[in-house]
Amino acid sequence: MGLFDCAKLPGWKTRSAQNIDEGFVVLVDIPSGSGLPYHDTYLVGCSTHEEAEAKIKDLYPSESNVRLYVSPLRVGDTKDLKLARNEVREWQESPNALG
């Protein structure tokens, strides 16, 4: 099963209409002083790991403890998701992905 099979992707932000072959999944982890850490996941349309990391860090400028885990998407997943160059899209798992 590919990432596209599990993703429900409402409300995406595009800066270019051109779809690309390269993209990354970025998991954001922000530890909290008490309780569970904050987690979020994004899809980023870009060609390098460093570029994906920089785009997500820009979303959390006041967080000094932010930890990012960056993983490349497969070309097929990037095409199926119609991920555009410079696009940052929040990723939300479908409830059906667990069953």
pLDDT per residue as tens digits for the range 78-90: 788 888 889 999 9
Segment 31-50, tens digit of pLDDT: 887 778 889 999 999 999 99
DSSP the chain: --HHHHEE--S-B-S-S-B-S--EEEEEEE--SSSSPEEEEEEE--S-HHHHHHHHHTT-TT-SS-EEEEEEPPHHHHHHHTPBTT-EEE-EE-GGGG-
13-21: average pLDDT: 52
Which residues sit opposite 92 in a β-bridge? 8
- Compute the distance between CA of residue 51 and CA of residue 44 in angstroms, rounded to an integer: 9
Greater confidence (16 vs 68) lies with 68
CA distance 18 to 42: 19
pTM over 0.75, yes/no: no
Tokens of 32: 């909290």
Q: Where are the domains positioned within the chain?
A: 3-93
